Amino acid sequence: MICGEKVKKQVLTLTLLGLLLLAFACTSILCSSPRALAVESSAGDTIDTGAEYSNGTIGSQIDGLAVWYVWINTNDTQVIYLAYVSTKYPPPVLTFFGQHYTTGNDTEIFVGNTLTAMEVYDDKNHNGVPDIGSSNDTNELLYNFAVNSSQSYLVSPVQKTLIDGVPHYTWGLRYNTIDGFVLTENQAAGAHVTVDYLGTSYDFYLQNNVSYLKTSFSIGKIMNVTSVSTQEVTLNGLSLSLLYGTSVITSKTYTTVVNGEPYNSTTTENASELTNSGEIRVEDTKAYECVFGQDYTLTRDSANTTYPSFSAAVSDNSVQGGLYRSVESTLSTFENVLANVFPRISRLPATINLDYNVSSFLYRVCYPQWSGYAIEHDPTYVAYLKTTIVPETSPPLLFIAEIAVIGSVALIAALLDSRRALKTTMKKVTAVLAARVHEFALRHS
């Protein structure tokens, strides 16, 4: 009887120990907070590259402007996002996102994409993209679309969530009630416009040895168009284009591939080449891919309609240089931020240059059906990594499963009145739980 009571006490002790550890696991999850920095920093501050993920603002050499950033560092890859914000002046609408990692052939690489400009064009030949320097000497690009004044903006801080064991990092930025202009290259004609909103959001995640950055671009309806020249400006029947530049730094030779063939925006004689994707290959190994061709949603008078988007690789000669030169100084701020961060995460000697005329891959994402109505579109960017990603498992579920098994073994031992079996089981239990607690503490410290 005394022995039986002792066994029961030991079983009770084991049960209480399991419950205590379960409470510890749950409390650790509920009380832990992500390392997300959402406060403004003074000029000269830098990004904490040791954080798994964070966001915040850092100063700019341009008075009154700051750079809002998002930083992600997970599974040997780093992602950085930059955009302008200001509480003093209307911020320019410029964004950048880049990723650093090691490719499948063990090559270090950094790939970045910059939203350089928005353009308005007249798709006269209905091929979906603006044509420049065609055989009949027509130029379908009509206006540069500059949006640089918003009454307010809202940032969505980076968050991490688990979906089927896969970590997703999401964030976004939205400008509201934007004043802007549409101007010809020589500013001979133009108009003042008001845009309802302009927003970008992102979802970054990894599966196996591939990372995905799903982007969402949305622009609200053009609320009014007021001509500022003798020539009347209308957006009715016109199309919208987003111009991006790609920056690539790698320790080995790389090639941009469009439609299965090598391509270089700085040397091509074709002003535009339709494509559904663009690739970066390092010594014949696919390292990065821009996936285009998805449908976009156009909202016209509360009615949603989907249309196919179009994309084209373009030569630097097809870029209207006047607009780009006007934003070079603001892009240099991004370059300074990247120069501070990049040496900390890379052994590569080169610096990041965002100038469009050195990019081997300039491309336009185009929306033929527009006429100034609201648009939503979700292109995807894919990186091919050396690292194989192991899905995360929620720690509490592991604790619960292990405690259930341990409790069952202990109960059987008690029922069999086997003190030796129970003693051996308790030693194993203690070792296993101690190891799990240590592992959990390391992962979430």
pLDDT over 90 (residue 189) = no
> Which DSSP string do the residues of 178-221 spell out, in sequence order?
EEEEEE-TT-SSEEEEEEEEEEEEEEEEEETTEEEEEEEEEE--
339 and 436 share a domain?
A: no
60, exposed or middle or buried, with CB in 10 Å at 0-12, 13-18, 19+?
buried
Asked whether residue 49 is assigned to any structural domain, the reply reads no
Question: Are both 93 and 17 inside the same structural domain?
Answer: no
HSE-CB of 115 using CA atoms within 13 angstroms? 23
Residues 119, 218 share a domain: yes
Instruction: Indicate whether 244 and 326 sit together in one domain.
Output: yes
In a domain, 47, yes or no: no
Q: What confidence tens digit (pLDDT) does each residue in 427-440 have? A: 665 665 556 555 54
Find the range with the poorest average confidence among 118-127, 250-259, 391-400. Answer: 391-400
What pLDDT is stored for residue 92 in this prediction?
77
Q: Which residues contact 135 (CB under 8 A, 6 or more apart)?
A: none
8 A C-beta contact, residue 57 and residue 46 = no
Does residue 389 form part of some domain? no
Q: Is the pLDDT of residue 188 over 80?
A: no
- The mean predicted confidence, pLDDT, of the chain is 79
Which of 335, 351, 384 finishes a domain? 384
In this structure, the answer to whether residues 27 and 66 fall within a common structural domain is no
Q: Give pLDDT, residue 28.
A: 42
Whether residue 157 lies inside any domain: the answer is: yes
Average pLDDT of 395-418?
51
Question: pLDDT above 90 covers what percent of the chain?
Answer: 40
- Domains: count for the chain: 2
Whether 311 and 436 share a structural domain: no
pLDDT in tens, 297-328: 999 988 999 999 999 999 887 776 555 555 66
* Phi and psi torsions of 250, nearest 5°: -150, 160
pLDDT digits (tens, 9 = 90+) for 234-287: 999 999 999 998 989 888 889 999 999 999 998 888 888 999 889 999 998 999
Give 334 or 156, the one with higher predicted confidence.
156
Is 37 domain-assigned? no
Range of the domain at 253: 55-384
pLDDT of residue 1: 53
In the chain, the N- to C-terminal Cα span, in Å, equals: 47
pLDDT band, residue 95 (cuts 50/70/90): confident
What local confidence, expressed as pLDDT, does residue 194 receive? 93
Residues 282 and 304 in one domain: yes
Q: Report how far residue 190's alpha carbon sits from residue 139's, in angstroms, rounded to the nearest whole number.
A: 17
Distance, in Å, from the CA atom of 309 to the CA atom of 125, rounded to the nearest integer, reads 16
- The most confident of the ranges 19-28, 104-113, 340-349, 370-379 is 370-379
Same domain, yes or no: 81 and 175: yes
**Residue 128: CB partners within 8 Å, gap ≥ 6?**
274, 308, 309, 310, 366, 368
Query: Are 380 and 425 in a shared domain?
Result: no
Return the DSSP state at 358: G
Tokens encoding 253: 């030779």
Q: Where are the strands (E) in 228-284, listed by range?
A: 239-250, 254-258, 261-263, 272-274, 277-282
43 is a domain residue: no
In a domain, 379, yes or no: yes
pLDDT per position as a tens digit, 7-46: 555 655 555 445 444 444 444 433 333 333 333 333 346 7
Same domain? 380 vs 407:
no
Looking at the fold, whether 64 and 99 belong to one and the same domain comes out as yes
- State whether 124 and 8 are in the same domain: no
Q: Kindly state whether residue 307 falls inside one of the protein's structural domains.
A: yes
Stated pTM of the model: 0.77
Res. 354: pLDDT tops 90: no
